[in-house]
Amino acid sequence: MSNNRLVTPRKLSGFMELSPDKQVVFDDMIDKIKKVFKQNCFMPIDTPVLELSEILLAKSGGSIDKEVYYFKKGDTDICMRYDLTVPLARYVAMNSENLIFPFKRYQIGKVYRGERAQKGRFREFYQCDADIIGNETLPIPADAECINLIDKTFKELGIAHITHISNRNVLFGLCEALSYREKTTDILVILDKINKIGRDNAKDELLKLGVKEKDAATLIDITLKSGDFDKILSEVDSLTDNECFQKGISELKELSSLIKVMNIGNCVLDLGIIRGQNYYTGTVFEAVVPEHPEFGTVCGGGRYDNLAGYFTEKKLPGVGMSIGLTRLFDLLDNNDMLPKHPLSSTELAIIPLGDTLNKCFELCAFFKEAGIRCEVNYSERSFKAKLKEANKKEIPFILIVGEDEVAKAQFNLKNMTTGEQFTLSKEECLKKINATR
Amino acid sequence: MSNNRLVTPRKLSGFMELSPDKQVVFDDMIDKIKKVFKQNCFMPIDTPVLELSEILLAKSGGSIDKEVYYFKKGDTDICMRYDLTVPLARYVAMNSENLIFPFKRYQIGKVYRGERAQKGRFREFYQCDADIIGNETLPIPADAECINLIDKTFKELGIAHITHISNRNVLFGLCEALSYREKTTDILVILDKINKIGRDNAKDELLKLGVKEKDAATLIDITLKSGDFDKILSEVDSLTDNECFQKGISELKELSSLIKVMNIGNCVLDLGIIRGQNYYTGTVFEAVVPEHPEFGTVCGGGRYDNLAGYFTEKKLPGVGMSIGLTRLFDLLDNNDMLPKHPLSSTELAIIPLGDTLNKCFELCAFFKEAGIRCEVNYSERSFKAKLKEANKKEIPFILIVGEDEVAKAQFNLKNMTTGEQFTLSKEECLKKINATR
């Protein structure tokens, strides 16, 4: 093929693609997350990446967000999923007769958002979601189970985290009690960015909105409360007898007691947790990595009144948590917080010397049968080059098989970590290798 | 929300979506395949689902196959991948400086083909691919490694299989030797369908093409040869001294000897294996399930001279195997060949009786800590309904926790399989459950 017909190999920008050694680490993280999800009795589903546009756009009444990848195939309007929640809603609405509620499901898969490419933002990324869906009702223990999942997942991943927890009814109720009911959304938008813009700017914005100075102080004070559940709840619980406010307080008290009995660690009450979307209707939570506040929220979630209101008359309340794994992996990678994996997973490389290739494959089958990740270096490179290659791949053991060794059934095993060399039968080699695993 | 705003929940046709209990079985199959791929020293990669159109369509010179999902996002022409091989070619061409050759990679992921929906055909399906890519050269042991992977994978899956193996150079060379070089493609198309149309029709078609009667018989005879390597190779190896033919025979002889020393089972030589695509240039193989010939090919692959000729001047020969897992799963499911999994994975359900919910969660944390998949049934249904639910979910153990039991720290454990009941401390319960695992 002549040079001028070559297409330059490149991938789309904003799409993560890892080297094999890093992919092993990424896959290990997925395995750990799955293990915790399963251990906590969540069941898997795997919905398609493509959905009918009318499904994914039901919320927006059919109007297409700039971020969404959509296209026509024949006469069919198709969208790529931008989260795993709308597909879950569609799934539960379609299959509600066959599911047992509360339905605990997890899904780990890629989602697509065609946003402006920038560092740390991905157009294709893995979401790891776990949700509990009730039929008509769903008690607060479900919220505690999701928060428990966060704690156990990050422990399994070896990432020190804190989960900040609130209940949106607290601020909803307080706004109502202070007679700003119709301004609730605007007030929450301001309070949500208090950590970014600071207390004084937040106050100015609230005043501009028509909130009285005294009320602004009350709203800001409560938003900044963060720490021990019992202490804070006793400080604020008599602030107003507004029904919605008291509902929030009472749900938080129940949650606090469950967090203790369920042995959930690394939780604080943080009444400043709002989570932008209108979506959430009760408990909300966000996990952060205290040593790296710049990571922002590494896992978020909360309670919603009705999962599938666009698809069914059934009332399906739910609570869920979601980890954006691609972004988290990228942050960990950039901060040298990932375990290192060698360029290969091979534990034993067999290197032929002379005319011993068949014997090498025989030995390789023996070691693989015994569970050792073993391969023969059958390339046409020199013996020296093969040794160098084993070193570069950080293969812990090599077995050198020359014609003499075959004749004596005694082989040359080298521990590449310690530099030790042994002359051993294949069974003794196996013992030696297994002893270091 | 009023009824008339509801969107009917439905999914795109041709997209597999499983119930959670079947999804567990599907995921187990993926885990088994991954285990074998890893065990054989293959490393994972995970390329994006979306690629630039110029990459995926490089082969066809930019023309878009009807099957391919493509769209424009802004100014960018995008395609969804229709296999994992072109993305691998792009990946290896982009990263060849950092990879160690032979590069053994596996990738398990969804691919997309918008073909006409029909039973057993999917528009989104999982491919499980393993390939070995060489730099400039790649010896025949790589082909044996791929065939070994097929054997070990199907063994791990518990599916009785036979891998049929040939080498395209045999028929290429024979066509050339019989002076039909320019008709090779047409001849191979006819020979490829001999099992469908029968010997006589194949002969008629060959004659129509201008093949002499005697040559047609020779071509059909060799195509129908299937069985023991040594026997068949000794029957055909002196048929012609055509260079290409002899290359095929000699590669098959080397492969045959490797199959023995590498302890690869369930292989036959089958000179009728052609594998439609022009893509393959040497060894070709197809696995079938002898008890279900109607499944057709459940795994296929072969040797190709140059993986990434569209993207790089580097010569990258390779050999690979691919399982279309979604189709295979569907076939196994339709033939009741899948293991059954209960509606949940829960091993122990704790059912509160009276005001014991907190104690139940405490116990649940204890059992989960010990590795038991345990959950509290905290729904607002009746005790009787909860027992029924545990039965329906086939949960093997239930623990009934009433106020008396809490006072005595002795709990009511029921083995749902045997019907036995015990009154035990939590530690004794744990022992009892572990004894049945």
> Which tens digits make up the pLDDT trace of A27-41?
999 999 999 999 999
Chain centroid to CA B354: how far?
50
For residue A1, is pLDDT > 70?
A: no
Residue B112 pairs in a beta bridge with B124
Residues of A in contact with B84 (CB under 8 A): none
Residues B198-240: pLDDT tens digits?
A: 999 999 999 999 999 999 999 999 999 999 999 999 999 999 9
Chain B residues with CB-CB distance to A114 below 8 A: 73-74
Average pLDDT, stretch B135-150?
97
Contact state of B141 with A376 under an 8 Å Cβ cutoff: yes
**A359 contacts in chain B (CB < 8 Å):** 261
**Nearest chain A Cα to B57, which residue?**
A7
pLDDT(A2) > 50: no
End-to-end C-alpha distance for chain B, whole angstroms: 48
Task: Give the model's confidence band at B2: pLDDT under 50 very low, under 70 low, under 90 confident, else very high.
Answer: very low
Structure tokens, B299: 């795994």
Question: With an 8 Å Cβ cutoff, are B76 and A392 in contact?
Answer: no
pLDDT digits (tens, 9 = 90+) for A128-143: 999 999 999 999 999 9
**Mean pLDDT lowest for which of A111-125, B1-15, B33-47, B168-182?**
B1-15
Asked if B273 contacts B165 with a C-beta cutoff of 8 angstroms, the reply is yes
Q: Mean of the pLDDT values across residues B51-62?
A: 86
Which has more pLDDT, B278 or B233?
Answer: B233
Cα B58 to Cα B87, B88, B116, B137, B308, distances in angstroms: 11, 13, 24, 24, 10
Q: Taking CB atoms and an 8 Å limit, are B9 and A112 in contact across chains? A: no
Give the pLDDT of residue B70. Answer: 93
Q: Which of A161-170, B58-67, B217-226 has the lowest mean pLDDT?
A: B58-67
Q: In which band, very low, low, confident or very high, does the pLDDT at B5 lie, cut at 50, 70 and 90?
A: confident
Interface test with A, best of B21, B22, B31, B41 (most A CBs within 10 A): B41
Residue of chain B nearest A341, judged by CA positions: B43
- The answer to whether the Cβ–Cβ distance between A141 and B357 falls below 8 Å is yes
Q: Tell me, what's the pLDDT at B1?
A: 43
Omega into A317 within 30° of 0, i.e. cis? no
Among the partner-chain residues B90, B124, B137, the one whose CB lies closest to the CB of A9 is B90
A·B CB contacts under 8 A: 262
Task: Identify the band that residue A175 occupies on the pLDDT scale cut at 50, 70 and 90.
Answer: very high
What was the pLDDT predicted at A278? 75
Distance CA B352, CA A77 (A): 49
CA–CA separation, A102 and B378 (whole Å) = 9
Q: Quote the pLDDT of residue A4.
A: 54
- CB neighbours of residue A407 within 10 Å: 8
A-chain CB neighbours of B261 within 8 Å are 358-359, 361-362, 365
B69 touching chain A per CB within 8 A: yes
Q: Any chain A CB within 8 A of the CB of B76?
A: yes
- Which domains does chain A possess? 20-334 (3.30.930.10), 348-435 (3.40.50.800)
Q: Does A41 touch chain B (CB under 8 A)?
A: yes
Tell me what pLDDT residue B424 has: 97
Portion 331-390 of A in contact with B at CB < 8 A = 343-346, 357-359, 361-362, 364-365, 368-369, 371, 373-376, 378-380, 389
Q: What is the mean pLDDT of residues B242-268?
A: 97
Report the pLDDT value the prediction gives residue B118, as an integer from 0 to 100: 77
pLDDT for position A276: 82
Residue B211 vs residues B168, B217, B218, B240, B339: alpha-carbon distances, Å: 19, 10, 11, 17, 51
The mean pLDDT of chain B is: 95
A1 in contact with B, Cβ within 8 Å: yes
- Of A6, A262, A311, which is closest to B9 when you measure between CB atoms? A311
B251 in A contact zone (CB under 8 Å): no
Q: What is the pLDDT of residues B342-375, one digit of tens each?
A: 999 999 999 999 999 999 999 999 999 999 999 9
**Separation in Å, CA of B92 to nearest CA in chain A:** 9
Using pLDDT thresholds of 50, 70 and 90, give the confidence band for residue B60.
confident
pLDDT-derived band at B4 (thresholds 50, 70, 90) equals: low
* pLDDT band for position B119 (cuts 50, 70, 90): confident
> CA–CA separation, B246 vs B237, rounded Å?
7
pTM: 0.97
Q: Above 90 in pLDDT, residue A437?
A: no
Yes or no, beta carbons of B41 and A137 under 8 Å apart: no
Long-range contacts of A275-280 (CB under 8 A, 24+ apart): A275/A168, A275/A192, A275/A300, A275/A302, A276/A189, A276/A192, A278/A185, A279/A304, A280/A168, A280/A304
**Per-residue pLDDT averaged across A277-299, rounded?**
94
Q: What angle do CA A109, A110, A111 make, to 5 degrees?
A: 120
Whether B117 and chain A come into contact, CB under 8 Å, resolves to: no
**Cis previous bond, B102, omega within 30:** yes
Annotate A326-377 with DSSP letters as a single string: HHHHHHHHHTT-SPP--S---SEEEEE-SS-HHHHHHHHHHHHHTT--EEE-
Place of tokens 């090779």: B184
Distance from CA of B198 to the nearest CA of A (A): 37
**At how many degrees (to 10) do helices A184-192 and A199-208 cross?**
160
Interface test with B, best of A2, A23, A46, A55 (most B CBs within 10 A): A46
Q: What is the DSSP letter of A65?
A: P
Number of alpha helices (DSSP H) and beta strands (DSSP E) in chain B: 16, 17
- What is the percent of chain A with per-residue pLDDT over 90, rounded to a whole number? 92
CB-based contact (8 Å) between B419 and chain A? no
**pLDDT tens digits along A61-99:** 767 778 899 999 989 999 999 999 999 999 999 999 999
pLDDT grade for A333, boundaries at 50, 70 and 90: very high
The average pLDDT across A48-56 equals 96
- H-helix or E-strand spanning residue B167: strand B162-167
Which residue in B2, B7, B307 has the most chain A C-beta atoms within 10 A of its own C-beta, making it the best mutation to test that interface?
Answer: B7
Looking at CA atoms only, how far is residue A67 from chain B in angstroms? 10
Smallest Cβ–Cβ distance between A3 and the set B70, B313, B374 belongs to B313
C-alpha–C-alpha distance, residues A107 and A47, integer Å: 8
Confirm if A209 and A286 have CB atoms less than 8 A apart.
no
Angle at A114 between CA A108 and CA A117, to 5 degrees: 105
Q: Do A23 and B39 touch (CB under 8 A)?
A: no
B7, B102, B309 ranked by CB distance to A311: nearest: B7
What local confidence, expressed as pLDDT, does residue A64 receive? 72
Q: B414 - beta bridge partners?
A: B398, B421
Tokens in use for A152? 């156990």
pLDDT of amino acid B208: 97
pLDDT of the residue at A58 = 86
Model pLDDT, residue A157:
98
- Across the interface, whether the CB atoms of B110 and A358 are under 8 A apart is answered no
CB contact under 8 A, B373 and A114: no
Smallest Cβ distance to A94: which of B9, B54, B311? Answer: B9
DSSP H or E stretch at residue A79:
strand A76-80
